[in-house]
């Protein structure tokens, strides 16, 4: 039996980022009914912009800020332009449209930056601590801390803040919220902005923890999607737990030779098992008729 502890540490860090983007996607889905499948592509574009700026000699922290801001801007732009256009449509159609956005961003990234794998060096990775004989770096700690803090913070925000309550009412019924005087478009834009900020942050972390390549990062959205599925696109706490579990399973499989090459299939297997468990009890789920 190999020593699994180091793998668990890296698994928790990776899982933390999966949870982070899972939470961002769940909040957006709850508020606007859009399951943003372009989440990975937006994060990747932000991270690549940051990488380019650092290469051009910009100071690191400013570049990270711009990277996150760029991701948020992309997300908000899409939300403001296509959100109202597709607002009355089925959740499936909304999700498929974001897939188109993902292809556009992916093509643009490949075009401008090629698909060479790069690694974004965050200064926090060099900062290491010794925890009970394990080497843990600051990026890994940050990944977990961000995941936990943002999950709790978002949950609190949705419960207490005025905009948060407005978001929840939008999730319930867009038309009635509008009648009650909630500025639907502004609140939706806020949701796109917040989820874009989270997206930019997780893009930067993934570019460091995995690698900085548009294709890889775009399809890591599937892992976050798996985390959302565990949370049934509703519960933020379960999304956090799901993301962590997926990250740990994936990392712990690394030292075992027979399953190691297949470990990146872990998110799909977890999600499919959860879906099976969820779906088995119901005979049929008729798509929600929201209006």
Partner 1 sequence: MSAGVEPGALAPRALLARPRALAASLRAELFAGVFCLLVLLVIPPIANAFWLKACIAAVIAAISAGGGGLLYGRVGMVSLCQMSLVGVGGWICLRLGLGTSLPFPVLLVISGAVTALVGVFVGIPALRMTGLYFALVTLMAAGAFEVVFQTTGFPNGGAGPLGLISGFQARATMRRPAMAHSDAAFFRYAVVVAAIVFLLALLHLRTRPGRAWTAIRQSEAAALSCGVNVTLYRLWAFALASFGSGIAGALYVASVGSLDWGTVSARQSIVLFAAILMGGAYSLLGAVLAGALLELMPALFDTLNLSGNVVLILFGIGIVQVLATAPAGMAGQMKDGAMALRALALRKAARA
Where does this chain bind partner 1 (CB under 8 A)? Answer: 35, 37, 82, 85-86, 88-93, 95-97, 99-108, 110-111, 215, 218-219, 222, 225-226, 229, 261-262, 264-265, 267-269, 271-272, 275-276, 279-280, 282-288
CB of 279 to partner 1, least distance (A): 5
Considering the complex, state which of residue 75 and residue 218 has its C-beta at the smaller distance from partner 1.
Answer: 218
User: Which of 6/215 has CB closer to partner 1?
Assistant: 215
Q: Quick one: 197 or 253, whose CB is closer to partner 1?
A: 253
1 vs 285 by CB, closer to partner 1: 285
Contact predicate 55/48, CB 8 Å = no
Closest CB 106 distance from partner 1, rounded Å:
6
- Considering beta carbons, is residue 105 or 142 the nearer one to partner 1? 105
Half-sphere exposure of 44 toward its Cβ, with a 13 Å CA cutoff?
Answer: 33
- Contact (Cβ atoms closer than 8 angstroms) between residue 231 and residue 18: no
Question: How far apart are CB 91 and partner 1 at their closest, in Å?
Answer: 5
How far is Cα 23 from Cα 233, in angstroms, rounded to an integer? 9
Residues in CB range of 126: below 8 A, 6 or more apart: 137
Q: Could you tell me the smallest distance in angstroms from the CB atom of residue 67 to partner 1?
A: 21
Task: Tell the smallest beta-carbon distance from residue 228 to partner 1 (Å).
Answer: 9
CA distance 180 to 214: 42
Distance CA(172)–CA(31), nearest Å, equals 8
Which residue in 68, 74, 75, 67 sits closest to 50, CA to CA? 67
How many Å apart are CA 200 and CA 177, to the nearest integer?
29
Closest CB to partner 1 among residues 95, 119? 95
- Nearest distance from residue 258's CB to partner 1, in Å? 11
DSSP secondary structure code for residue 287 in this structure: P
């Amino acid at each position: 039996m190999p020593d699994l502890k180091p793998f668990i540490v890296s698994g928790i860090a990776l899982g933390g980022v999966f949870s982070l983007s899972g939470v961002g996607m769940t909040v957006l889905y709850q508020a606007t009914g859009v399951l943003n499948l372009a989440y990975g592509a937006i994060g990747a574009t932000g991270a690549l912009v940051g990488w380019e700026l650092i290469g051009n000699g910009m100071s690191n922290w400013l570049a990270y800020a711009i990277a996150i801001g760029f991701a948020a801007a992309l997300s908000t732009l899409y939300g403001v332009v296509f959100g109202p256009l597709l607002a009355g449509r089925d959740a499936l159609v909304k999700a498929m449209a974001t897939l188109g956005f993902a292809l556009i961003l992916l093509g643009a990234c490949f075009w401008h930056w090629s698909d060479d794998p790069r690694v974004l060096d965050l200064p926090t990775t060099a900062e290491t601590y010794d925890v009970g004989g394990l080497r843990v770096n600051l990026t890994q700690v940050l990944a977990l801390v961000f995941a936990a803090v943002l999950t709790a913070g978002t949950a609190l925000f949705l419960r207490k803040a005025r905009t948060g309550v407005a978001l929840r009412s939008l999730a319930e019924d867009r038309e009635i919220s509008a009648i009650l005087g909630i500025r639907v478009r502004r609140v939706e834009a806020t949701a796109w902005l917040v989820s874009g900020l989270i997206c930019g942050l997780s893009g930067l972390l993934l570019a460091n923890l995995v690698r900085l390549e548009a294709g890889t990062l775009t399809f890591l959205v599937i892992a976050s999607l798996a985390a959302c599925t565990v949370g049934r696109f509703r519960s933020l706490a379960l999304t956090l737990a799901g993301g962590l579990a997926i990250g740990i399973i994936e990392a712990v499989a690394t030292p075992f030779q027979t399953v190691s090459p297949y470990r990146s299939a872990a998110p799909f297997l977890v999600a499919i098992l959860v879906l099976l468990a969820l779906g088995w009890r119901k005979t049929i789920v008729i798509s929600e008729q929201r209006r």
